[in-house]
């Protein structure tokens, strides 16, 4: 059964909703591990403290999503586990070699996956949609990355050029992850298609155009060429 949403979309069947919630929960689990790793490598104590706080928040966000999975009748561990390796190839292809590349990877690379989840969440039931948007709306770590990168690149044109190249590599790999998800996860493909249908446009072309535009805005915020 479906219910009519104010936006004109239709509520996703529970199986599709569980698929997206599983992906969001996995992204938060990955964020926890990444932030903990970043904290261990951070140049200053203040950065280490801040990053560990963000890591702890990722756990809380993950658990909120998994609680919603249980409410919808899903098995939280099974739903989460089905996405256990979703970013393995991305991480292998984009291993950062510097602290600045690490910050940009978190801001730009993982940002594409978050944008995809926001897009697909348009087709969820109201409660699940609100949860996903709230969980992905926490920008504390993003603000830290932007502030640190702004300071670093201010008087270093070589770093600016390197980070611009790194950002282009990141977005290419991240869009590849989205393509793979659409090809192998029917529930996510249906949610994305429903969101595209509600907004008009040419399906996948609209989605990837939107993701690319968001990437360009992120790079622009740093004064980097996308």
**pLDDT tens readout for residues 8-24:** 344 556 899 999 999 99
Question: Domains in the chain: how many in total?
Answer: 1
8 found inside a domain: no
Element (H, E) at 5: none
* Containing structural domain, residue 218: 14-222
Q: Which of 44, 43, 218 is nearest to 146 (CA)?
A: 218
147, part of any domain: yes
pLDDT score, position 118: 94
**Residue 4 domain-assigned?**
no
| Residue 6 DSSP SS3 | coil
The Cα 31–Cα 37 span in angstroms is 10
* pLDDT score at 202: 56
3-state secondary structure of 69: helix
Residue 225 confidence (pLDDT): 81
Q: Is residue 159 part of a domain?
A: yes
Tell me whether residue 5 is in a domain.
Answer: no
The predicted model scores a pTM of 0.88
What is the chain's Cα-based Rg?
18
Q: Is residue 179 part of a domain?
A: yes
225 close to 164: Cβ distance less than 8 angstroms? yes
Do residues 162 and 153 touch, judged by C-beta distance below 8 A? Answer: no
Per-residue pLDDT, 13: 67
Enumerate the β-bridge partners of residue 87.
none
Flag whether 127 is in a domain.
Answer: yes
* Residues of the chain falling short of pLDDT 70: 1-13, 197-203
The answer to whether residue 7 is domain-embedded is: no
CATH code of the domain in which 30 resides: 1.20.1260.10
Quick: pLDDT tens for 170-188.
Answer: 999 999 999 999 999 999 9
């Amino acid at each position: 059964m479906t219910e009519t949403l104010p936006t004109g979309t239709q509520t996703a069947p529970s199986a599709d909703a569980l698929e997206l919630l599983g992906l969001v929960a996995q992204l938060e689990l990955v964020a926890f591990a990444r932030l903990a790793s970043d904290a261990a490598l951070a140049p200053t104590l203040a950065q280490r403290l801040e990053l560990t706080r963000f890591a702890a928040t990722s756990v809380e966000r993950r658990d909120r999503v998994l609680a919603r999975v249980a409410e919808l009748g899903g098995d939280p561990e099974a739903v989460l586990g089905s996405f256990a390796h979703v970013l393995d190839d991305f991480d292998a292809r984009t291993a950062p070699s510097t602290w600045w590349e690490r910050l940009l990877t978190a801001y730009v690379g993982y940002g594409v996956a978050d944008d995809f989840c926001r897009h697909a969440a348009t087709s969820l039931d109201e409660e699940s949609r609100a949860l996903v948007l709230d969980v992905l709306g926490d920008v504390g770590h993003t603000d830290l990355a932007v502030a640190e990168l702004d300071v670093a690149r201010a008087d270093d044109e070589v770093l600016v050029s390197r980070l611009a190249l790194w950002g282009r590599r990141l977005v290419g790999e991240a869009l590849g992850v989205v393509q793979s998800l659409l090809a192998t996860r029917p529930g996510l493909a249906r949610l994305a298609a429903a969101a595209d249908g509600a907004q008009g446009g040419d399906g996948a072309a609209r989605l990837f155009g939107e993701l690319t535009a968001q990437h360009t805005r992120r790079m622009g915020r740093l004064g980097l060429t996308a």
